[in-house]
Amino acid sequence: MEVLRYIFSCFSSSKSSSASSAGSHLLWSSRVSDENKAMVEQLQKYAIIKSSKVAEVMETIDRELFVPPGASPYYDSPMPIGYNATISAPHMHASCLELLQKHLQPGMRALDVGSGTGYLTACFAIMVGPEGRAVGVEHIPELVASSIENIKKSAAAPQLSDGSLSIHIADGREGWPELATYDAIHVGAAAPQIPQALIEQLKPGGRMVIPVGTSSQALKVVDKRQDGSVSIRDETAVRYVPLTSKDAQLQAN
């Protein structure tokens, strides 16, 4: 990952285009960023992105629209977004999209727990399309509000309007039962154990990707078989902010 960080630093935002000033969601199509495309090409070169579907969606959803002003959108590192939260690094977004892509076909349902900036929820929405559902759950109201503004500037904006993409203020440890069950569940913060509610809300044949652990963490891939039993494997070691209560998160140093 050090190599990637170095490579991506070449694409960080010193000469970034005018995403933050793109006030209308209609502007997204006219400002496809070359730097975003270059970031995707690097992720392909290092085989983090393997599928054309993931490359396509990461080209379509410009990361610059989701990072705070002044941050380097294409640098391969997590970045602070306030409230003791971060936007995950591009290689983590790409890896999670790769792990979930077969469960993000048009018409499928996806849940993004700890949706933060809304970046992955927007990617999920593009992949499942208007006939599917992409649901983000985030417990910091200010992040929900800013994620909706981010998405409005992106290619996923029409799906906010037609209701196939929604973001909710809630404790993600409970999932979002109203629209369960889900073909794909992504959890963007590390849980001490896999929450039972999320296992229950996974559809038979569905897949969940969730970081689990405290001082040491593993990205776990949970597959639910048709008979309802689950298999769990470790994909890689990771470092995420905790999936916790809102108060505990806001009080953390």
Binding residues for ligand SAM (CB under 6 A):
83, 85-88, 114-117, 119-120, 137-140, 143, 171-173, 188-189, 240-241, 243-244, 249
Shortest distance (Å) from residue 2 CB to ligand SAM: 21
Our CB check for ligand SAM shows the closer of 171 and 235 to be: 171
For residue 115, the minimal CB distance to ligand SAM (Å) is 6
Q: Are strands 79-82 and 109-113 parallel, antiparallel or unpaired?
A: unpaired
Which residues does 146 contact at the CB level (< 8 Å), separation at least 6?
A: 81, 117
Strands 133-138, 109-113: parallel, antiparallel or unpaired by DSSP? parallel
Q: What is the C-alpha separation between 3 and 91, in angstroms, rounded?
A: 12
Asked whether the beta carbons of 164 and 135 are under 8 A apart, the reply is no
Shortest distance, CB of residue 81 to ligand SAM, whole angstroms? 7
**CB-wise, 82 or 107, nearer to ligand SAM?**
82
Q: Where are the beta strands (DSSP E) in the chain?
A: 79-82, 85-87, 109-113, 133-138, 165-169, 182-187, 202-213, 217-224, 230-238
Choice between 143 and 157, CB closer to ligand SAM: 143
Written as one letter, the residue type at 166 is: S
CA-based Rg of the chain, rounded to a whole angstrom?
17
Out of 13, 16, 33, 88, the active site residue is: 88
Q: Which is nearer to ligand SAM, 217 or 249 (CB)?
A: 249
95 among known catalytic residues: no
Least distance from ligand SAM to the Cβ atom of residue 9, Å: 19
Q: Tell me the catalytic residues.
A: 88
